[in-house]
Amino acid sequence: MRAQLRQWRHQVERRLSRNGERLRLSLGNLYILPSGFGGLWLLGTAVLYLLGINSSSNSPLLLAFLCTGLFLLSLFLTQFNLQGLELAVADPAPGFAGETLPYPIQLHSQCERHLLRLAFRGQPLLLQPLVASGISLAQPLWRPSQRGLQVPGRLKLYSKAPLGLFVCWSYWQPPLPQLIYPAPVAGPVIERWLPLQEQHATSQGAMEAGGSDDFRELSPHRPEEGLQRVAWKQLARGRGWLAKRFEAEATSQLQLSADPSLPLDAALEHLCARVLELNQHNQPFSLLLPNGREVAYGQGRAHTDAALRALALA
284/67 Cα distance (integer angstroms): 71
- Could you tell me what percentage of the chain is helix, strand and coil, using 3-state DSSP and rounding each to the nearest 5? 35, 30, 35
Yes or no: say if 296 and 286 are a contact pair by the CB < 8 Å rule.
yes
Residue 81: phi and psi, rounded to 5, are -65, -25
Hey, is 48 helix, strand or coil? Answer: helix
- Per-residue pLDDT tens digits for 239-280: 677 776 655 555 678 899 999 999 999 999 999 999 999 999
Query: What is the value of pTM for the model shown?
Result: 0.77
Yes or no: say if 314 and 290 are a contact pair by the CB < 8 Å rule.
yes
What pLDDT sits at residue 247?
52
- Per-residue pLDDT tens digits for 190-215: 998 888 654 444 333 333 333 444 55
**Nearest 5°: CA angle at 165, between 135 and 123?**
55
Residue 296: phi and psi, rounded to 5, are -65, 160
- Per-residue pLDDT tens digits for 170-187: 999 999 999 999 999 999
